[in-house]
Structure 1
Amino acid sequence: MKNENTGIVYSADVFKHFYFRGQKVFLSDFIVKRYDDTIILNERYSIEKKVNGEIFIKTPSYVGNFKEMPVEYKKDLNVFILEFYLNEIYSTDKSTFNDKTKNNNGSRPCSFWNTYYCVGVGLTQSAAIAESTASGDLINCEKLGPAEAVPFTEGTVWATAYCCNK
């Protein structure tokens, strides 16, 4: 987040991609600007939270109340990005990464975008677990829990989740 004379600029600092309708997407490729209660993406898309709580959206294909927006227009990646930032900005859950904030299992909360999964495959359960926890890419990452068997693999594939805020 960066203040500018023209509003607040938001960008994501993530190293993990996600798939949207089969397309590989990096959230860090998108920059949005916020002016008061309006969030703008690439000058063609905007979303606004009205005082009464209604959400108003403008896209090249639709202008109007977000709840009334036809489903086919919500399949637009830019609409998803706007909705994501709207939810992040107006979320009342302000979990932070600090020692005072812990989950039920004792680990700190981690966003989806910073969660990294290390998968291990082995002929035995022990070999699979060992492989799932032995990655050189996990420097400065926090293990989020124990290794877990991947369903339907007879215990030969295990996954371990890590939080990597790099």
Structure 2
Amino acid sequence: MTEGIINMGVEKILVVESLTDIRYEVSTLKHFNLNSFDIDYANYKFTFDGDKLTIDGLSNYSVSIVNGGFYLDSPQYSGEMIKISSTVSLDNNAIILLHFAEEITTSSASKKLFSTTTSGGGAPCSFWDTYYYYVQGLVQVWRKIIYRQY
């Protein structure tokens, strides 16, 4: 896993492959805070159908790869992320979907085992070990994720 998703409390990602899709279920040890909302990745399940990644139960959110980059389809924006205006504000579901898409498309050479990271060892503290993310429009940290070319 990437250190970013480990910092968001993820302990492991269960991958279940079938003939028609790949399902991802997340196990966590703690929550993180995104735009003043407590988020637990364990509350999200993701499905990749061969073309697009979706959040189960939220059919109006999907991410696919088009022209070597992420293509987001959400209530706030539909299009290639490289072309998104900096004035567009994505909601937390879109941000979580993009972040998870980044996680599953990152090469394994850039990933770590949960047990070898400093944030992954031991029981989490609900105060000191909680990560807070505030996203207004598309700030630089998210640009790094969504503008990466494949």
- TM-score > 0.5, shorter chain as reference: yes
1:136-147 aligned at under 5 Å gives the runs none
> Does the CA contact (< 8 Å) of 2:76 and 2:91 recur in 1?
no
Tell me which residue corresponds to 1:130. Answer: none
Q: Which of 110, 121, 124 lines up with 1:116 in the alignment?
A: 124
Taking the TM superposition and a 5 Å limit, the aligned residue runs for 1:39-78 are 39-41=53-55, 42-50=58-66, 52-71=67-86, 73-78=88-93
**Which amino acid counterpart does residue 48 of structure 2 have in structure 1?**
R
TM-score, normalisation: structure 1: 0.55
The alignment's C-alpha RMSD in Å is 2.8
The answer on whether the counterparts of 1:40 and 1:46 sit within 8 Å (CA) in structure 2 is yes
Aligned equivalent of 1:89, options 104, 117, 135: 104
Alpha-carbon distance between aligned partners in 2 of 1:36 and 1:71, rounded to the nearest angstrom: 29
SS of residue paired to 1:12: strand
1:117: Cα distance to partner?
A: 4.0
**Does 1:35 find its partner at 2:49?**
yes
Match of 1:80 in 2: 95
Output the CA distance in 2 between the equivalents of 1:115 and 1:58. 37
Match of 2:37 in 1: 23
Deviation at residue 15 of structure 1 after TM alignment: 2.3
Q: Which has the higher contact order (CA 8 A, sep 6+)?
A: 2
Query: Which runs of 5 or more residues in structure 1 are unaligned?
Result: 99-107, 121-166
Q: In structure 2, what is the Cα distance between the partners aligned to 1:111 and 1:53?
A: 32
Q: Aligned letter for 1:46? A: S
Identity, % of aligned positions? 21
* 1:78 partner SS: helix
Q: How many residue pairs align between the two structures? A: 109
In structure 2, C-alpha distance between the alignment counterparts of 1:111 and 1:28, rounded to whole Å: 17
Question: 1:79 deviation in Å?
Answer: 1.1
- Describe the shift of the 1:49–1:12 C-alpha distance in structure 2 as closer, same or farther (beyond 3 A): same
Q: Return closer, same or farther for 1:71/1:12 CA change in 2, 3 Å cut-off.
A: farther
Q: Deviations over 1:26-77 (max 9, x none)?
A: 1111111012242112211000123x41211101232111122234544311
